[in-house]
Structure 1
Amino acid sequence: MDCLRTVGLFQNLPEERLEWIAERAQEVRLAAGDVIARQGDPPDGFYVILEGETEWTRKVGREEAFVVALGPGAIFAELIMVLDAPYPTTGRAVTDARLLKLDKTEFWEMLRICPEVLRGILATSVERAELHESVSQRHGKLISLGTMAAGLAHELNNPAAAISRAAAEARQTFRFSSEKAAKLGALPLDAEQRSLVADLPTRVSELPAPTLDSLDRSDLEDEVALWLEDRGVEGAWDVSPTLVGAGLDVARLDGLSGRLPQEALGDVLGWLASVVSGDGLLREIEESSSRISELVRAIKTYTHMDKAASKEVDVHAGLDSTLVMLGHKLKKGDVKVVREYEAGLPPVCGHAGELNQVWTNLLDNAIGAVGGHGRILVRTARENGRVLVEVGDDGPGIPEEIRSRMFEPFFTTKDVGKGTGLGLDISRRVVVDDHRGDIRVESRPGDTRFQVRLPIAPDTRGAS
């Protein structure tokens, strides 16, 4: 009786009703580490914690997420008893604990004779249900963020590795080029010929790049290598791919050969090949650096790091940055992304970071639907005072019997461990609850489209 008086749920009960509960309750003792109930177990009674501490976790995907710690005076299993639903969490005793338990019959009788307890249970149940869902959604977002971070690390690693490799090769190439350039001073060249040699790198850089398939290119490289060998050029088979890649063929080499002494030709072409190779490596470093800069800009746009809050959101910028962030998935297989953006699309009113999470979920689902081979459509349009964003795919479609459940929390058609069933639920909450928009799906085999409609920012409603 003394313990029951300390429980907030029972504090306003008269003495006789406390006695009624005490007479019918069972005492349950647990040692530290004991499992109280597992997620998915059916309810077996209503519990009050009298002594000790317990911890409750929820499995989301393959991860175990902490939900809440309950100590003396706390109750649990009240909502699942009312709903006859399984435990949404797994509970363990952190310390030795003592619990009070009412089985199903006594629980319902208690609610009948103690309406004060019923009101307290309903209030606690609402808070507890919101907590469970909040933890699951938050953990689902973290899983999505972790997947995105892994893909981004892969995307950044490729250009970074290319820069490192090209820089190392460039160091050797320029050292070799300097040695070759030093020999040019001793060659028997007149002023006009020296001017010709000095202009060669510029003239070669202006040549159109050859458009050859691999077989034709190989034949041309062999032809150039034999031409170089005939004229005693050192390392002819190593030099020929570089010269061919720069646009030089036998005809052009013949023209150059006719303007230079034969004894100087080998050193000039060796030096030219090293300069061309060095330029190619510098271009590769430049392109890889640009790719890293592009990814960094995409990250800033995707996370909206440069703005704490956003009122007017550029939908096209968010979609483009999301596609960049998902680039590692789009490159697997043969996936074609078609953008159909309406020109002059007005901004929407909302938060860019949250909307980018929606685009991520919809695009990720579309990528999964096409299975590495197919077409993904990203379309935008202005429609009746709103902005329409449509993400479609030509995958197998969504069966009609499950279409109505697509936005339910924890509902997923993916294999165990591959989906949390929260992506579309989070998207619905962001679009409907946070942005006063609408999200729906239309699907048939070969044409599935998720449609999001968002209010246009108030200050731009009259814009064209």
Structure 2
Amino acid sequence: MAVFDPAYLKSLPVFSEIPAEHLQWLLQTSEIITLQAGELLFDTGQSADYMYVLLGGQLNLSLEQSGQYSFFSSLKQGDVTGYLPFSRLKVAGGRAVAQDHASVLRLHKRHFGEMEQVSPEMVQKLVALMTDRVREFTRTEQQHEKLIALGKLSAGLAHELNNPAAAIVRSASELRRMHHAVPDKFKRIMTMQLTPEQVDELNAVLFSLMEDGRDNNLPLMERASLEDELIDWLDQKDVEETYSLAGIFAGWNVTVDSLEKVSVILGGKYLPEILDWIANSLETERVICNIQSATRRISELVSAVKTYSHMDQGQGKEKTSVRDGIGSTLTILNHKLKEKDIRVERNYDAGLPLVPAFVGELNQLWTNIIDNAVDAMSEKGTLRIDAWPEPGKVIVRIADDGHGIPKDVLPHIYEPFFSTKQVGKGTGLGLDIVHKIVMHHGASIKVSSEPGNTVFQICFPLD
């Protein structure tokens, strides 16, 4: 078992330049505790009253996110954690657990005043260590914040892609089923003795029905009434499968008058077969339109991701469209907007000029502001986005009708790790990142807030 004396402490890098007599004071003033594997040194929310120096063994630090702990870093022999001189730490932000048998030197913060008198060198070293720790912790947490945001965006994108992809699968299966019925229908059509004039007239009716009913969205009551009329007419004509045919025709807003026109063209012959052919053609058209719509949606999502992630472009400042950047961000966050049924109002000046910007950073700025706004809003809220030019600059204003930011909180919203959300719901770095991005662009940001109206206004210089 190691002997923890001044010589041992001096062998640790953190104390290598501290005089032995100062280290002797440290040993006499502090206490040494031992931990078994799995034992806690401190836990999240615990009052930060001690400085800890790991003399032997290993400690694992974990941070809580969304009610679960995730590994953050390991402390090895000679590492220092906990409360340090001039620190503003109030409570532990994470949990420290012994990996195996560990020995820890523990010094209460009430001795720090005496430490300044006994060993200014030790205080200076610990302050420098604290500065490095804050810098590293901030860097790691910013990266963690980005990963969390990426996870949210990925989940939302997967959700958005799943809907059109599932629609394509369903439509393709339906199209295959209809295609398998084509030979039988073709056989019946070929046995009919129709004149070329009748064929031309029937084709004209079919294309007219497709064109007129393509964007048909009858209210439920009107559609039900139309179906009843069609069922009565089909029954009078002794056509089988009346309910199935009536449902298809009503979906395309086919009226009884249109079916009468078909009956007149046929002179009362082959009506069931021709109506079945028309219904099959309309259903095939519907399925094809569904596939086109779904594939177009997937293409839009891919395009939005490409714009959002700034693919195929350089890393320097580029002239970029504020309208396109916000648009791609809203597409990526669409799942979150739909969850709360939030309406988005966009008002962009027609002559909005391009802004010189780091495009990837700008998209992150929009994401953080809009994501925070959605979190603050209730169901069926309204998000308002305006952008307009002024001499030498472009102004973007993002406003929400959420619960607002309290007046005593407003001055602190850009401070790192400051958050009004519940523990585990955020790191408190979202608006700190926003502020850094704004400063990096030489821009400015103003915030005003009251219940029902929170406004972020960003001013971008054009030079």
TM-score normalised according to structure 1 size: 0.90
Q: Are residues 1:68 and 2:89 paired? A: no
Q: 1:194-229: CA deviations, max 9, x gaps?
A: 333344432322335556322122111211222122
* Residue matched to 2:43: 38
Give the superposition deviation at 1:63: 4.1
Find the counterpart in structure 1 of residue 367 from structure 2: 360
Query: 2:275 is matched with which residue: 265, 269, 279?
Result: 269
Contact 1:43 1:81 in 2 (8 A): no
Q: Which residue of 2 aligns with 1:376?
A: 383
1:292 alignment partner, SS class: helix
Residue 58 of structure 2 corresponds to residue 53 of structure 1:
yes
Residue of structure 2 aligned with 1:449, choices 434, 450, 455 = 455
Letter in 2 for 1:380: A
Indicate the residue corresponding to 2:392 in structure 1. Answer: 385
1:160 to partner: Cα distance: 0.8
Unaligned runs of 5+ in 1: 459-464
Paired residue type of 2:310: H
Deviation at 1:70, TM superposition (A): 2.2
| 1:462 alignment partner in structure 2 | none
Contact residue 401 and residue 454 of structure 2 kept, 8 A = yes
CA 1:124–1:375 in structure 2 vs 1: closer, same or farther (change >3 Å)?
A: same
Shift of 1:232: 1.9
Q: Secondary structure at the match of 1:259?
A: helix
Contact 1:80 1:87 (C-alpha < 8 Å) held by counterparts: no
Q: Which residue of 1 aligns with 2:356?
A: 349
Cα distance in 1 between the residues matched to 2:205 and 2:174: 22
Relative distance call for 1:396 and 1:78 in structure 2 (3 A) is closer
Confirm or deny: 8 A CA contact 2:31 2:105 kept in the other structure: yes
Correspondence for 1:155: 160
SS at match of 2:276: helix
Distance verdict in 2 for CA 1:219–1:15, change over 3 Å: closer
Q: Secondary structure at the match of 2:232?
A: helix
Q: For 1:263, what is the secondary structure of its paired residue?
A: coil
Instruction: Give the whole-Å Cα distance in 1 for the aligned partners of 2:435 and 2:29.
Output: 45
For residue 223 of structure 1, the aligned residue among 214, 226, 229 is 229
SS in structure 2 at match of 1:129: helix
Q: How far is the alpha carbon of 1:416 from its aligned partner?
A: 4.5
- For residues 441 and 414 of structure 2, the distance between their equivalents in structure 1, rounded to whole angstroms, comes to 16
Secondary structure at 2:269 match in 1: helix
Please name the residue that 1:428 is paired with: 435
From 205, 209, 217, the counterpart of 2:210: 205
CA contact 2:198–2:265 (8 Å) conserved in 1: yes
Matches of 1:44 and 1:393 in 2, distance apart?
A: 41
Q: Which residue of 1 aligns with 2:22?
A: 17
Retained in 2: the 8 A contact 1:60–1:136? no
1:239 corresponds to = 245
- What SS does the corresponding residue of 1:156 show, helix, strand or coil? helix
1:135 aligns with 2:140: yes
Output the CA distance in 1 between the equivalents of 2:234 and 2:192: 18
Query: Alpha-carbon deviation of 1:165?
Result: 0.8
Structure 1 counterpart of 2:296: 290
How far off its partner does 1:36 sit?
Answer: 1.4
CA distance, structure 1, for counterparts of residue 8 and residue 211 of structure 2: 90
- Aligned runs of 1:45-194 on 2, under 5 Å? 45-79=50-84, 82-83=87-88, 85-194=90-199
Report the CA distance shift for 1:84/1:132 in structure 2 as closer, same or farther (over 3 A): closer
CA–CA distance in 1 between the matches of 2:158 and 2:419?
27
Q: Confirm or deny: 8 A CA contact 2:51 2:84 kept in the other structure.
A: no
Distance 1:206 1:102 in 2: 82
Query: Is the Cα contact below 8 Å between 1:174 and 1:275 reproduced in 2?
Result: no
Alpha-carbon spacing, 1:446–1:9, altered in 2? closer, same or farther (3 Å): closer
* 1:122 aligned counterpart, secondary structure: helix
- Structure 1 residue 415: deviation in Å? 4.2
5+ residue gaps, structure 2:
1-5
- Range with bigger deviation, 143-152 or 294-303: 143-152
Secondary structure at the aligned position of 1:243 is classed as: helix
CA 1:30–1:332: 2 relative to 1, 3 Å: closer
1:161 CA drift (Å):
0.9
1:324 maps to 2:331: yes
The superposition leaves residues 359-389 of structure 1 with CA deviations (integer Å, 9 ceiling, x where unpaired) of 1222222223331212211111223423222
CA shift, 1:112, in A, is 1.6
SS at match of 1:88: coil
Distance 1:383 1:62 in 2: 46
- Classify the secondary structure of the residue corresponding to 2:404: coil
Distance 1:234 1:43, change over 3 A: closer
Distance 2:387 2:288 in 1: 39
Partner secondary structure for residue 373 of structure 1: coil
Runs of 4+ in 1 over 6 A off after TM superposition: none
Match of 2:3 in 1: none
For residues 12 and 364 of structure 1, the distance between their equivalents in structure 2, rounded to whole angstroms, comes to 48
Whole-Å Cα distance in 2 between the matches of residues 22 and 394 of structure 1?
A: 58
Distance of aligned partners of 1:281 and 1:82 in 2 relative to their CA distance in 1, 3 Å threshold: closer
Paired residues, number: 456
Greater Cα offset, 184-193 or 101-110: 101-110
- Give the structure 1 partner of residue 444 of structure 2: 438
Contact 1:176 1:274 in 2 (8 A): no
Q: Distance in 1 between matches of 2:170 and 2:217?
A: 26
Distance 1:416 1:94, change over 3 A: closer
* Alpha-carbon distance between aligned partners in 1 of 2:455 and 2:98, rounded to the nearest angstrom: 47
1:284-342, Cα deviation, whole Å (9 max, x unpaired): 01100111111111111111233352412322111001111111122235422111112
